[in-house]
Amino acid sequence: MGQGNSGPFSEEFILYLESMRKVQRVTNANVIDSDGRITGGKELLEAMANKGMIESINEILQHNPALLNSEQEKFLFDILGYEIYSQNEYIPITVASLTTGLFNVG
């Protein structure tokens, strides 16, 4: 696991994931977007976990393992079901593992 102080980036990412976890609770509800369109909660959550954002996160975490503290890594493990750092190698976050983990949160 990465060590050291976490920077603002990792704090923001973890808060982002926590908010996504809360949005997961409404996956079966209808959400009205800013344009007044009704969107399913599941579609909203999938849109929040877009591939480009996840690729950017992976790039940053791959080259800066000390950005996450042990609590943050545990939080990610709880969602993803795997450690993102194993044997000094980075295991990327995927949209599939992220959304699956968020949808399966009780």
User: Is 62 or 46 the better-scoring residue by pLDDT?
Assistant: 62
59 in any annotated domain: yes
Note down the domain range covering 73. 8-101
pLDDT at 67: 85
Overall domain count for the chain: 1
pLDDT tier at 3 (50, 70, 90 boundaries)?
Answer: very low
1 in any annotated domain: no
106 in any annotated domain: no
DSSP string, 8-75: HHHHHHHHHHHHHHHHHTTTTSEEE-TTS-EEEHHHHHHHHT-HHHHHHHHHHHHH-GGGS-HHHHHH
Summary mean pLDDT of the chain: 77
DSSP 87: T
Query: Which residue type is seen at 20?
Result: M
What size, in residues, is the chain? Answer: 106
63 in any annotated domain: yes
Q: How many CB atoms lie within 10 A of CB 29?
A: 12
